[in-house]
Structure 1
């Protein structure tokens, strides 16, 4: 009997030792990073708490998101493929001068706004808000045609696509854009305000209507708008009227408007600059204060 027990222990102990030393290389293990699909549920790994120090990596992606978006500029944190965590999403929409097919003209979408900052390595890899570190996934879609009837759908389709493809923290989705894209931002928020955490429209080419204003105010959506008062292309009254009408409904977070006296149509260079701050926060840090409770 004693001999039988000794034999059994001899067989069991090596198996136990081998099992404890084995590295479980699963789809979510740091040794085998997840790709861009985000289909696996996130799990903790050592990389998740590493603060990004290298610039985000941007590249053009040609794909039919819908009939009016044929591609986009994708910017991912440098360590994205080594982590399993979910990231804040910033969708930034260009102006009318950057319209294109999403393929041979896709480079235009990287020449303005946040995508240009990333292209020039001037977009911070990390933001600290409330003692927490954040890095954005930035998606800059290229719109084919400025069709007023599809504006909200275009942005919503882009967000849905991004959620399905990348690891997005769906409580932290933000939308911004300039000129035409600023108008897209207002109109999207006026339709789907409850899906996003904050917006930052810049010299937005859209005037308010009462229904969209009410949607934004009722959703308690934080707004920070930017405009130059001498803008000869898109009247600053657009931004003034949106903000004043929203605030007239007494939302818990008052809509903000930064109105510079001069600068013409280009309010985006200053607005998107990480160096421009109010109350010690730039546009991105301001956004990250807010989450959308699902």
Structure 2
């Protein structure tokens, strides 16, 4: 009887954990030859054989880092989807509707550097039906640092089709001098910042200007009346500028 109760409890716990992660499942991704980290993954509901799907990688802020995968639901794309919102989007360029494969990795501390993100992309490309010409990244705060580091890194930039960057933290000095990499790889980036977060808004402007210096028109900047917060209004698929939400905007671009 005791064994039966223990097994029942374990099954109930596993079921509850799976329900808590809806609509995602938990996986592990390789970020070095010796290190794997947990991640949330959402595949399209009705995968079609032979079809490949856009990949959207979602990078969290510093306060989320650690070991509790459920903390990812506090902000960002994963929160929107966990609350039941649908991010499937119509590409305004070709008029087709796209379903995303969504991955939200959990960093042990801070966020993922470009070498780790590059390894994670390589790992999931081997396992899931991803359209390698439509790899998109988005992040906020420390996750915004990760996005900016990625688009200024020669290894990772060549894999990214477009990015959405919200309130990014200050990137490394070497990368601050490398926005020509972003331009050379034709990466469009939509930046979001708040008037009451001067350092982070300043980073948005600096990164956008540094890209446009090499290739004008690659960036878009939206400024809100808020502090270092409030990214949910932009991640919500109902938020639109120029007739598009961020998911529709991303789909315009491919490698």
Alignment of 1:1-294 (within 5 A): 57-62=23-28, 65-66=31-32, 69-80=36-47, 82-101=48-67, 105-129=68-92, 130-146=94-110, 151-191=113-153, 192-207=156-171, 209-231=175-197, 234-251=199-216, 253-260=217-224, 262-292=225-255
Instruction: Compare relative contact order (CA 8 Å, sep 6+) and give the higher one, 1 or 2.
Output: 2
TM-score, normalised to structure 2, is: 0.82
Unmatched segments (≥5 aa) in structure 1: 1-55
Distance change (3 Å), C-alpha of 1:124 and 1:246: closer
Unmatched segments (≥5 aa) in structure 2: 1-21
- Indicate if the aligned counterparts of 2:55 and 2:100 stay in contact, CA closer than 8 A: yes
* In 2: Cα distance, 1:280 partner to 1:213 partner: 28
* In 1: Cα distance, 2:204 partner to 2:87 partner: 27
* In 2: Cα distance, 1:117 partner to 1:95 partner: 16
* In 1: Cα distance, 2:226 partner to 2:149 partner: 24
Higher Rg of the two aligned structures: 1
* In 2: Cα distance, 1:60 partner to 1:120 partner: 17
- Indicate if the aligned counterparts of 2:29 and 2:124 stay in contact, CA closer than 8 A: no
How well do the aligned residues superpose, as a CA RMSD in angstroms? 2.1
